[in-house]
Structure 1
Amino acid sequence: MRSKYKWILSILCLFFFQVGFAQQKTLTGTVVEDGLSLPGVTVIIEGTQEGTQTDLNGKYSISVKPGQTLIFSFIGMKDVKYKVGAASFYNVHMVAAGEELEEVVVMAYGQTKAKNEITGNVVAVKGEVISQTPVASVDQALQGRVAGLQIASTSGSPGAVQNIRIRGRNSMSANNEPLYVVDGMPIITDNLSGAVDSDGVATGTSLSALSGINSDDIESMTVLKDAAATAAYGARGGNGVILITTKKGKRGEPSYSLKTSVGFQNFARKGPKFLSGEQKKELWLEANINSFGKEEGFNKDNVWDWYVGDYGNDGLVQWVNNGSVNNDWRKAVKNQDALVASVSLGVNGGDEKGTYYASLGHDKYEGAVIGSDFRKVTGSFNMTRNLNEKLDITIGANVSNIKQNGIMEGGAYFSNPNLTGMFMSPWAPIYAEDGSYNLDTPAGLHNSLYTSKHNSIVNDITRVISNNAIGYKILDDLKFESSIGLDYTLSNYSQYYNPIHGDGKAYKGSASQDEKRIFNYVWQNSLNYRFYLGDSHRFNVKGVMEYQKNKFNRLQGRGEVLPPGMEGLGTAAANFTTFADYYDWSQLSYLGMLNYDYQNRYLLDVTFRREGSSRFSKDERWGNFFAVGGAWNISSEAFMDSAHAISLLRLRGSYGTTGNSTINPNMYMQLLEPGTYNNESAIIAYQYGGPLGWEKQEKFDTGVEFGFFNNRLTGSFTYFQSKSKDLLYQRPLSMTSGYEAQWMNIGDMTNRGIEVELNYDLFRGDDFNWSIGGNVGTVKNKVTNMPVINGETVKVLGSYNAIEEGKAYGTWYLREYAGVDAQTGNAQWYKADGTKTTNYNEAEVRYQNTSALPKVTGGVNTHVDYKGFYMDALFSFAAGYSVYDGWASYTNTVNSRSLYTYNGTTELMDRWQHPGDITDVPRVSTGGNANYTSPSTRWLYDGDHIRLRQLTFGYNLKKEAVKFIGVDGVNLAVSAMNPFTWVKDKRLKWDPEVDATGFVEMATPPLKSVIFTLNVKF
């Protein structure tokens, strides 16, 4: 019996041994930070005292059981927890402590740093903020969120290019747009639309190169502003850098997200009101009285009888005879409540050896003006994989197809619906008597309702951005990486003008096609070495060789005389013309970066870059750029331990050089182009070249960052100064030279200003939270040096603005309007001695101490959440700049141009009528006061404004409800974009956000929208 119990006891011991000990195994791996090994990391089993440490190579080995949890901890790093599964190998990636994961900021060339490790001026915007901002182009989501960043709208048409200025204008003639880098790949951000003339100037709706990126694919957007942050990109970073980091997978089971939204959009501001038919009739008859009444013996009581007798069949008489129907062309060309819809689906996951992320998206935007819309389809895939302990790969691709129906906008194109809405007389009927479109329109104008249906202007763009890398760990602290970024754009632009009405009528129909192929690739090879001296001194050294090549091919054809129903170029019967263009450019660079960290208290970054560009003359081709940045984390000092109210206090500063090279290739060369002479082939002198080199910038930046009361109150204060030298300038030449202009390095320019950021958590709790924040940036621009030619300092004086030493670039330079002479009703301007004159040519042209560049920009935001409900609001503002209405000479004349031929604004109803009247609008007449709309301050408006940029209300379903329906999360939200705008200058009826030139254009203005969104995670 006793032996029987022994046998049972043996069985139980064996069972417990198998359960308790047989499952135990050895788990190995490597702990890394930024891809390099991390020695001395503590590894313990949660709930026990068992553990180990990583060796000098960052490796660990520990006995564990499935289901146990390991904790990896290291001073200055955030703890990582791992629940042991079936795998026997697990690599750990650690990030800096003291910051949440989303506070880790992506820097130049793949570096990632916690905020308290950064020496440069950097602002990161989270991907969730970008995805919650329903815009066609992701760059628009930055407005109001980054101090010192200003966006100027070239058009509100879906997908149109936006002008972005970071800390003002740095160049006179070269590009002032920032450099965009997508997952380490510097991409081409030119206007992709084929609607450009031979000089590259847009003749229709532009198309942003960023509009093909799905906002739901973005992990973060980081704006680099000073030399310490941008010098790694050399001359390309002179205007700032915007890093776009797309989403990567996360280890674990696959997780999915589905987002869909729908909404509508309209003009953000209504704009000026235009004359009704009756108002126009009143003004035109009064103009005739003022011009002919005394001579012809008629007055207000009998003017109509006289007018009918002398003008019995003109537009006004016909309009009255047909019933005086008011034809509101402005309303007719609008697409009221234009539809906006989008859907995207994403999946991500991974295991201990790698991760993956994939997504699909579809967006559809109708334009707020007839004839314009935008559609894009996107697909994205990112994968990382550790092939073994030393070798890893990254594969990524973003593919998009965009179809944009554009319009001829931005200029005085007669088929431009915006022009039709402003210029067309309300006396002209929109429809003929039989209900068809009226094609007998006055003044050569087109009925855009007809042309928008029977013409086509289409951009069809396919783009692939691919980033691929292979990394090899030579030593545990030394890693080699080779990456290649590919950016390929296939652009097809087609244009068809019908033979019945509009631009194609004179040619019996016309068609054109423009094919562009742009291939840009960047090859980078880097060595990254990190080492420690003792426990306190941490070094990170990186060396990079980078080669960039860009190839551009273009083939264009045009033909005339198209049979009815045929729209393709191949069906044209006559007058074929062709055009072909090719250019390429390349850039070779060598980069060295050193980061030093002493106990996370003292930080030093040193960057040096040498690069050569084929854009410049052989002797001027190479440029050297550097930056030094330092920071002192005061709050990490021992003497701050007693300062419990201070959570963060740090000083930082940087100095360095960057530059600018963004001009067209071959500007330094003397060029010839093919042409014809006497019906024979000929070669024509085309460009006058000359020595041309880098535009250089010296940048200084210093600031303080702080956090109080457990970071309840956080903020920063920055002062910056940027000096641009040897500016790339397209200097006009005398026509006797045979050339229009020559590119040269002349002139200096300075920008300086301050930037302030402040955020405060008013309430923190489990159920209720409320925070408010804001930023403001100032910039003061000055041209500090212009060349001396023939003993005189060069001045560039235009009809509206000027470039002169000591003034801001593009300072408005105009005659100053002095109102209307109360006795005569004539327009007046100021002379040099301060007296008034009605002779426009006697008036003094004066500097107006303002330009198109805002001196102050910023934003204010607030967030409130309560038990799943939340509200977000963002205001943006700009001040200290002016906009000019260059079209007033058509819409505000006090003579026949606005009163009869075209149409005018209702402002004309405030015209002078009797001696003693006080007004800014002169006496109307059939042909007088022609200089009233000539360049002057009468049409210069204060652009200061505050805009409610975004207002969002949302609700996150409770966990119980989410679990009940079998998903991980559900979010419902409604967002209003640009619902309200306050403008300081009550005279300004146009939208104050105009393009960077400062002129009101005949383009679609910024839009407001209401978007409903459903987001499901499962």
Structure 2
Amino acid sequence: MRSKYNWLLSILLVFIVQVGYAQEKTLSGVVQEGGLTLPGVSVVIEGTQFGTQTDLDGKYSLKVKQGQTLVFSFIGMQDVKYKVGAATTYNVDMAADGEQLEEVVVLAYGQSKAKNEITGNVVAVKGDVIGKTPVASVDQALQGRVAGLQIASTSGSPGAVQNIRIRGRNSMSATNEPLYVVDGMPIITDNMSGAVDSNGNATGTSLSALAGINSDDIETMTVLKDAAATAAYGARGGNGVILITTKKGKRGEPAYTFKSTVGFQNFARKGPQFLSGEQKKELWLEANINTYGEEYNLDRNNVWDWYVGPDGYGNDALARWVNNGSIENDWRKAVKNKDALMTSISFGVNGGDEKGTYYASLGHDKYEGVVIGSDFRKITGSFNMTRNLNEKLDITIGANVSNIAQNGIMEGGAYFSNPNLTGMFMSPWTAIYNEDGTPNLNTSAGLHNTLYTSANNTTLNDITRVISSNALGYKILDNLKFESNIGLDYTLANFRLYYNPIHGDGRAYGGSASQDEKRIFNYVWQNSLDYRFYLGESHRFNVKAVTEYQKNKFNSLEGRGEVLPPGMTGLGTAAANYTTYSSYYDWAQFSYFGMLNYDYQNRYLLDVTFRREGSSRFSEDQRWGSFYAVGGAWNISSETFMQNAMAINLLRLRGSYGTTGNSSINPNMYMQLLNAGAYNNESAIVAYQYGGPLGWEKQEKFDLGLEFGLFDNRLSGSFTYFQGKSKDLLYSRPLSMTSGYTSQWTNIGDMKNTGIEAELNVDVVRSKDFNWSVGANVGTVKNVVTKMPIVDGEPLQVIGGYNATMEGKAYGTWYLKEYAGVDAQTGNALWYKADGTTTANYNEAERRFQDTSALPKVTGGFNTHVDYKGFYLDALFSFALGYSVYDGWASYTNTVNSRSLYTYNGTTDLMDRWQNPGDITDVPKVSTGGNASYTSPSTRWLYSGDHIRLRQLTFGYNLNKQATRFVGVDAVNFSVSAMNPLTWVKDSRLKWDPEVDATGYVEMATPPLKSVVFTLNVKF
């Protein structure tokens, strides 16, 4: 009886549940994009068209049944699906459609737009591309991927600063580096290393401010080039802007990622080969024959007996080397750390619910230096959180914390403790080790045995940095939002230097120690009102008003002491000659600006920006500047007459014009300054800086581009023409020494850059199992100085030892005497005179412009991707053309006299020297002395830097879904990458790496590296 009633009760319950699900109820909410309401959204339910269900205020109210699935859609936005449950309220968050409109791009001040809604010149590189590029500093991952972006390595030491130029040089003496913005926070990107002199010039390994960012935390890196894209950042964006957006959480259950890499690094190019002991002996004996042959009747048969005899040199370095067995000492090899190890590990988690998201990560990277004495280690932690506190209030909190320990070396210059210098200068006749295996400290020419100094000296950068971006948003009305953002950037930099008392730089002082503490605090406070509205259904407006205040404070305290007890390395243990130095400066910048975005049916777009800003860097009467930009775009493919053009997916014309400025110079350069000093052994106040009126460097920028996508976007790309004019250039003008000053900062001169950029991408094959795509980008730039101030009735010409700046020429055009080769009869070097004839007298030769500078005229890259059933192959090439590099160290490494042949060492190019009448060669005859002018500035040491480099080659495999389910994870990826494995250089004479810094000079710094890296990625 009871069972019968249970059966009837079950039927009744099922019926009640079914009826309950069938009952209609009202579901309401707000449809929004980026926190602001979005009117005009349509809703579909299981194939039934409700039509436009939202009012103009963006609210909706629908009769629905529990269990049904609603699909919210809007042109240009991703569809949002929602399964009706017990709730009676659901707020819809919509985002731009990455598939329909190619990609969503992050722009200035939190704007996020689909690519066909942008009027400026913007290139975005996705985070997975950045994460798959194993480099110590994330900016290196952009090389070869963005048209018009040039990157050159200042040093291959891990964590070193890279030279980056967007569309060439815009200024003479002010910075030409772009502005970096991390999650809306404009950060300070100065060299963080303490190895700098009093003028801020590097005396050792530099340290990039971006080295503390974990590449696996990056969502996108976006390069803003033209005025329409950069105008919102005002003068700070005059050289372009690179936006770094870090990862945010996604709604859903926690998702985890784990990544581990291990690799090995070496020089990308071998560089010049240096003379062996036997080769050097041959050249030095020949030099003695050429010098003393007639006097002592010398030839190859008797020169050695003469050399070690009473008329020769006796028991000198060469004789001792021969008597000790002629053991080859390869110093170049000794200072290298072959197959330097690099490791990286990171772990991340993200998730969220309807009210907010979170993302957190930890990372650890360690790089051994390819040159002894240099290594790099960093620890990073990142956290991002978003939360809707209620219907009107939301909050965002983000922080990136890093600690870097970099052991640097004294590189880039003629520092005797520079291992690179040791490897090039040290004579192979000098023993590396003593017979007992200890380093030989009795070295020649005063050079240090850097195997000893690297092990017993300390050059340590210890940097802790916190970058935090935080925002509080309040929805005043449905389409009006107030947001307050504050970004904090705090750096604590400790630099410790210790020179041991036994050998090297510290020997003369009984050992020395110094310590430098820097505290840099930079904050930016932004307050904005964002209003979005429609006029009718076709006219969409977005108006944004912003005020911004930025303040930077710099404090430095340095101490130095000498005479340290054995085994003591700290500054506090020094016994004598204490010195201290401190400095403080600050600067501030205040701005207010407005942005207007107009969109008509996604066909016609207009962006207008106006910014008024003041900077404490300038004189009070010239402190404020006004800048603006106008950008427009026509989406031709959205026109009705293009609806039947099935082959065209995207065709759009865009252009922009605007003005901006440049204020990136040191503070207080306009002020007349005094400094503490000494006169006649008494304390005194000394004139330090001349000062004078100083105002904004101004720039005008024009950009016109065409973008296209054809055949279901199998073929896509863009073409762009740009022109940039810089006026009232910030210039450190040299002054006569009789003035008592070396230079004065002033506004003089005009400059112009013009060029074209092109990008092309082709999906050659698209299929389920096999895909093949190729892409390329190229950018050109022509730089011309269009105006210089009139001095004594003529435009000023600034003539340097190797280059010159004058009207009508590119800034820093090489200006040298032209080398004419070697006189085949005498073996003497020749140069060209003004009348075109040759002369063996260097002073009679004419200096000429060489129509080339250190700035490449053409840069770019090309890539290809192939994948087949989980396997894939990626290749990226980069190239730079139309520039030259100068070897300023040739006066040490390529002299045909005792400097290279006896005291130091020379390259094997010297083996091609002139020997007999009739010899055709570029290397003059060798001698024991004289001929110093043979390595004086001339085109003999100027090389074409044109090169193509295989930047990255990656082979990998994505585990199939069956296998990942078997091991209980979501995805597994294995890959091996080769970084910089191949380099082709046009000029066969150039043995150095063609990537040099913006000055164009070969430096004694660690060259770019090649590496092989193995990577494991797991998602679960």
TM range (shorter): over 0.9
Aligned residue for 1:133?
Answer: 133
Aligned residue for 2:425?
Answer: 423
Separation of aligned partners in 1, 2:901 and 2:548: 62
The residue type paired with residue 954 of structure 1 is G
Aligned residue for 1:209?
Answer: 209
Aligned residue for 2:1007?
Answer: 1005
Aligned residue for 2:867?
Answer: 865
Query: How far apart are 1:571 and its partner, in Å?
Result: 0.3
Q: 1:963 aligns with which of 962, 965, 973?
A: 965
Secondary structure of 2:308's counterpart equals helix
Aligned residue for 2:502?
Answer: 500
Q: In the comparison of the two structures, how many residue pairs are matched? A: 1017
Are the aligned partners of 2:895 and 2:906 in contact in 1 as well (CA < 8 Å)? yes
The residue type paired with residue 21 of structure 1 is G
Over the residues paired in the alignment, what is the CA RMSD in angstroms? Answer: 1.7
Secondary structure of 2:199's counterpart equals coil
Aligned residue for 2:473?
Answer: 471
Shift in CA distance, 242/415, structure 1 to aligned 2, threshold 3 Å:
same
Aligned residue for 1:218?
Answer: 218
Is 1:70 aligned with 2:42? no
Separation of aligned partners in 1, 2:534 and 2:600: 10
Are the aligned partners of 2:76 and 2:114 in contact in 1 as well (CA < 8 Å)? no
Separation of aligned partners in 2, 1:16 and 1:982: 78
Q: 1:750 aligns with which of 739, 748, 752?
A: 752
Aligned residue for 1:17?
Answer: 16
Secondary structure of 1:907's counterpart equals helix
Are the aligned partners of 1:95 and 1:101 in contact in 2 as well (CA < 8 Å)? no
Q: Deviations over 1:214-237 (max 9, x none)?
A: 000000000000000011111111
Shift in CA distance, 347/926, structure 1 to aligned 2, threshold 3 Å:
same
Secondary structure of 2:963's counterpart equals helix
Aligned residue for 2:200?
Answer: 200
Aligned residue for 1:730?
Answer: 732
Q: Deviations over 1:630-663 (max 9, x none)?
A: 0000000000112111111100000000111000
Shift in CA distance, 323/102, structure 1 to aligned 2, threshold 3 Å:
farther
Separation of aligned partners in 2, 1:69 and 1:123: 37
Is 1:441 aligned with 2:443? yes
Query: How far apart are 1:49 and its partner, in Å?
Result: 6.2
Q: Which has the larger displacement, 348-357 or 50-59?
A: 50-59
Query: How far apart are 1:434 and its partner, in Å?
Result: 1.5
The residue type paired with residue 995 of structure 1 is D
Q: Which has the larger displacement, 638-647 or 803-812?
A: 638-647
Is 1:160 aligned with 2:170? no
Separation of aligned partners in 2, 1:342 and 1:791: 61
**Runs of at least 5 residues in structure 1 that lack an aligned partner in the other structure:** none
Query: How far apart are 1:88 and its partner, in Å?
Result: 5.8
Q: 1:322 aligns with which of 313, 321, 324?
A: 324
Secondary structure of 1:474's counterpart equals strand
Aligned residue for 1:260?
Answer: 260
Q: Deviations over 1:780-817 (max 9, x none)?
A: 00000000022121000011000000000000000000
The residue type paired with residue 114 of structure 1 is A
The residue type paired with residue 538 of structure 1 is R
Secondary structure of 1:278's counterpart equals helix
Shift in CA distance, 88/270, structure 1 to aligned 2, threshold 3 Å:
farther
Query: How far apart are 1:66 and its partner, in Å?
Result: 6.7
Q: Deviations over 1:560-589 (max 9, x none)?
A: 000000000000000000000000000000
Query: How far apart are 1:89 and its partner, in Å?
Result: 4.8
Are the aligned partners of 1:701 and 1:721 in contact in 2 as well (CA < 8 Å)? yes
Query: How far apart are 1:90 and its partner, in Å?
Result: 4.0
Aligned residue for 2:661?
Answer: 659
Query: How far apart are 1:7 and its partner, in Å?
Result: 10
Q: 2:382 aligns with which of 377, 380, 383?
A: 380
Aligned residue for 1:30?
Answer: 30
Are the aligned partners of 1:52 and 1:61 in contact in 2 as well (CA < 8 Å)? no
The residue type paired with residue 198 of structure 1 is S
Q: Deviations over 1:744-803 (max 9, x none)?
A: 000000000000100000000110000000000000000000000221210000110000
Query: How far apart are 1:57 and its partner, in Å?
Result: 3.2
Q: 1:802 aligns with which of 798, 801, 804?
A: 804
Separation of aligned partners in 2, 1:967 and 1:130: 23
Separation of aligned partners in 2, 1:407 and 1:98: 46
Aligned residue for 2:396?
Answer: 394
The residue type paired with residue 554 of structure 1 is S
The residue type paired with residue 897 of structure 2 is N
Aligned residue for 2:913?
Answer: 911
Separation of aligned partners in 2, 1:160 and 1:671: 33
**Runs of at least 5 residues in structure 2 that lack an aligned partner in the other structure:** none
Separation of aligned partners in 2, 1:373 and 1:386: 44
Separation of aligned partners in 2, 1:68 and 1:570: 75
Shift in CA distance, 305/727, structure 1 to aligned 2, threshold 3 Å:
same
Is 1:988 aligned with 2:987? no
Are the aligned partners of 1:482 and 1:526 in contact in 2 as well (CA < 8 Å)? yes
Separation of aligned partners in 1, 2:430 and 2:84: 79
Separation of aligned partners in 1, 2:574 and 2:990: 46
Separation of aligned partners in 2, 1:85 and 1:305: 103
Are the aligned partners of 1:617 and 1:693 in contact in 2 as well (CA < 8 Å)? yes
TM-score by length of 2: 0.98
Query: How far apart are 1:540 and its partner, in Å?
Result: 0.3
Aligned residue for 1:842?
Answer: 844
Are the aligned partners of 2:179 and 2:236 in contact in 1 as well (CA < 8 Å)? yes
Separation of aligned partners in 1, 2:385 and 2:61: 27
Are the aligned partners of 1:44 and 1:52 in contact in 2 as well (CA < 8 Å)? no
Secondary structure of 1:1004's counterpart equals coil
Separation of aligned partners in 1, 2:362 and 2:48: 45
Aligned residue for 1:371?
Answer: 373
Separation of aligned partners in 2, 1:255 and 1:100: 27
Query: How far apart are 1:313 and its partner, in Å?
Result: 1.4
Shift in CA distance, 635/318, structure 1 to aligned 2, threshold 3 Å:
same
Shift in CA distance, 48/653, structure 1 to aligned 2, threshold 3 Å:
closer
Separation of aligned partners in 1, 2:492 and 2:185: 18
Aligned residue for 2:827?
Answer: 825
Aligned residue for 1:768?
Answer: 770
Shift in CA distance, 297/947, structure 1 to aligned 2, threshold 3 Å:
same
Are the aligned partners of 1:514 and 1:555 in contact in 2 as well (CA < 8 Å)? yes
Are the aligned partners of 1:99 and 1:114 in contact in 2 as well (CA < 8 Å)? no
Separation of aligned partners in 2, 1:1002 and 1:26: 74
Separation of aligned partners in 2, 1:464 and 1:287: 60
Secondary structure of 1:17's counterpart equals helix
Aligned residue for 1:149?
Answer: 149
Shift in CA distance, 172/277, structure 1 to aligned 2, threshold 3 Å:
same
Is 1:509 aligned with 2:511? yes
Alignment of 1:599-998 (within 5 A): 599-998=601-1000
Separation of aligned partners in 2, 1:117 and 1:842: 62
Secondary structure of 2:192's counterpart equals coil
Separation of aligned partners in 2, 1:274 and 1:83: 74
Separation of aligned partners in 2, 1:906 and 1:241: 44
Q: Deviations over 1:339-397 (max 9, x none)?
A: 01000000000000000000000000111100000000000000000011110000000
Shift in CA distance, 933/84, structure 1 to aligned 2, threshold 3 Å:
farther
Q: Deviations over 1:166-212 (max 9, x none)?
A: 00000000000000000100000000000000000000000000000
The residue type paired with residue 516 of structure 1 is K
Are the aligned partners of 2:955 and 2:975 in contact in 1 as well (CA < 8 Å)? yes
Secondary structure of 1:293's counterpart equals helix
Separation of aligned partners in 2, 1:135 and 1:419: 25
Q: Deviations over 1:453-490 (max 9, x none)?
A: 00010000000000000000000000000010000000
The residue type paired with residue 43 of structure 1 is V
The residue type paired with residue 491 of structure 1 is A
Query: How far apart are 1:76 and its partner, in Å?
Result: 3.0
Are the aligned partners of 1:976 and 1:1009 in contact in 2 as well (CA < 8 Å)? yes
Query: How far apart are 1:77 and its partner, in Å?
Result: 2.0
Shift in CA distance, 102/139, structure 1 to aligned 2, threshold 3 Å:
farther
Query: How far apart are 1:506 and its partner, in Å?
Result: 0.2
Separation of aligned partners in 2, 1:921 and 1:78: 68
Separation of aligned partners in 1, 2:6 and 2:1009: 85
Separation of aligned partners in 2, 1:434 and 1:260: 42
Query: How far apart are 1:683 and its partner, in Å?
Result: 1.1
Separation of aligned partners in 2, 1:301 and 1:481: 88
TM-score by length of 1: 0.98
Shift in CA distance, 50/728, structure 1 to aligned 2, threshold 3 Å:
closer
